[in-house]
Amino acid sequence: MPARGTVTLFHVWRIRIGVDYSWFFVLFLIILWQSSAYREPLGASTGDVEPYLLALVSALAFFGSILLHELGHAFVAIRRGISISDITLWMFGGVARMSRDSDSPGTEFKIAVAGPAVTLAIALACVGVGIAAAGSHEFWKAVLLALQIDVSGHVSGILLVLAWVASINALVLAFNLIPAFPLDGGRIARAIAWQVTGDRTRATRGAARLGQAFSYLFIGLGLLLLVEGLVISGIWLGLIGFILGQSARGAVVQTEFASRIEGISVADVMDQEPVAIPEDASVERALDEYFLRYRWPWFPVVDAAQRFRGLIERGAADAVPEVSRASSTVREVFEADSSGTLRVRDDEPLESLLGNDALRRLGALMAVDADGRLLGVITADQVGRALRNALTGPGGRTPPDSPAT
């Protein structure tokens, strides 16, 4: 699943919404295909712009639907105490990246079913608006025309878009409910198996086997379509099968790995004596007493109540003119952690740090309590050491050894 090479669009609930580069390719294909499909029902000539504009609206509505689907998952996950770092749209749909796995079958079921519920609501809303605007007969005729099942007849452009968006969401709903992990249907199947067996890892293995079976089925159907001369459909279905199989295998490994580090929290691994610079300290003091003494590239900044505010880097301190360093404070030059991406709660499970972008980029995160007070620093090296210990020995705990001690 995509995690890198994305373009950030905006943020929702502090969740980064981005698109993978493959999204632009699919956007182009949808515009190309739908502009051709819309031309006949609209009675438009080759040079008319309307089919292309409606196809663009359709493509954006489709990806908007996928985003709402993923936000449905995210909303329920956040309500259940699981943070979402980002949502990425890509050529095969969307991915909401959770900080950790579900802690119970009920949570897993609610998160899994939330996305399909949103997709169903979108499809029903489009059907309802279309029927209310043009009548049942005209709307279903528009569905056949939008999907090129019927090419005789003319309808309005808006009705065509509503019909296509309703149809594509119905297809997405049906596909996502296939009981093949990690599709939503597979996650629902895992939640049920987890509830019955009481074993998350065993339930994941069973759901993943279903995912691998469906991946072979999709690849086989893709090869059959290639033989029949449907090259694009065959390649597309084969790619879906391949990615589904890879994802199912990866999910099993991740779940088994997570079970090995279950019970280990950030507080078990972090350095509990971090060195932090007060925000009201002068830049001169920051350079003399911290940067020159410890030789580290950055330090956490705290306020008078020891609440974590952000980071100050050596370059920012050096950029202050020497004559102004005694009168300038750290508060004026530090980088505030307004998004909260540079901190983690000390009671968070270690699993929540796997794949953390800020930890990978910075090399460390600030561990804080519920009130935001700085309690420690956890580095990527410490996380890696704890993970290695979890795989090779009991407990997985490691003594503090942070470069920020």
Task: Put the strands of the sheet holding 364-368 in their side by side order.
Answer: 343-345, 364-368, 374-379
Of 361 and 38, more confident: 38
Q: How far apart are CA 324 and CA 99, in angstroms?
A: 43
Least confident residue range of 135-139, 240-244, 268-272, 354-358: 354-358
Amino acid code (one letter) for 39: R
Model pLDDT, residue 400: 38
The single-letter code of the amino acid at 188 is I
Confidence band for 313, pLDDT divided at 50, 70 and 90: very high
| Across 12-31, average pLDDT | 89
How is 254-323 classified by DSSP, letter by letter? HHHHHHHSTT-BHHHHSBSS---EETTSBHHHHIIIIIHHH--SEEEEE-TT-BEEEEEEHHHHHTS-GG
- HSE-up of residue 49 (Cα within 13 Å, Cβ side): 1
Please tell me the predicted confidence (pLDDT) of residue 355: 67
- 3 state DSSP class of 180: coil
Q: What is the pTM of this model?
A: 0.74
Q: What is the pLDDT of residue 4?
A: 52
For tokens 């995690």, what's the residue? 3
319, with CB counted inside 10 A (0-12, 13-18, 19+), is exposed
Give 225-260 pLDDT, tens digit per residue: 889 888 878 888 898 889 888 888 887 777 777 677
Find the farthest-apart pair of alpha carbons in the chain and give their distance in angstroms, rounded.
80
Tokens of residue 207, six digits? 């759901």
Q: How many CB atoms lie within 10 A of CB 333?
A: 19
pLDDT attached to residue 237 = 87
pLDDT of residue 402: 37
- Go through the chain and tell me how many residues it has: 405
Neighbours of 304 (CB within 10 A): 8
pLDDT band with cut points at 50, 70 and 90 for residue 371: very high
- Superfamily per CATH, domain 266-392: CBS-domain (3.10.580.10)
- pLDDT for 326 equals 95
For the chain, the structural domain boundaries read 6-177, 266-392
Which DSSP helix (H) or strand (E) runs through 365?
A: strand 364-368
Calculate the average pLDDT of the chain.
Answer: 88
pLDDT value at residue 401: 40
Q: What is the pLDDT of residues 175-202, one digit of tens each?
A: 999 998 889 999 999 999 999 999 887 8
* pLDDT mean over 91-120: 90
The alpha carbon of residue 172 and the mean position of all alpha carbons in its chain are separated, in whole angstroms, by 18
Q: What is the pLDDT of residues 74-100, one digit of tens each?
A: 999 999 988 888 899 988 788 898 877
In terms of Cα–Cα distance, which of 79, 59, 66 is closest to 115? Answer: 66
Task: Report the Cα 128 to chain-centroid distance in Å.
Answer: 31
CA angle centred on 223, ends 175 and 59, rounded to 5°: 40
- Tell me the DSSP string of 48-110: -SHHHHHHHHHHHHHHHHHHHHHHHHHHHHHHTT--EEEEEEETTEEEEEESS--SSHHHHHH
Higher pLDDT residue, 149 or 306?
A: 306
- Mean per-residue pLDDT, 344-369: 86
Q: State what percent of residues in the chain have pLDDT above 70.
A: 94
**The two three-digit tokens of residue 35, written as one number:** 């502009």
What is residue 339's predicted lDDT score, i.e. its pLDDT? 74
Which helix (H) or strand (E) element contains residue 334? none
Kindly report which listed range (116-125, 135-144, 228-237) carries the lowest average pLDDT score. Answer: 228-237
The runs of H, that is alpha helices, within 147-230 are 157-176, 184-197, 200-227
- What strands lie across the sheet with 335-336, from one edge to the other? 277-278, 298-302, 308-313, 335-336
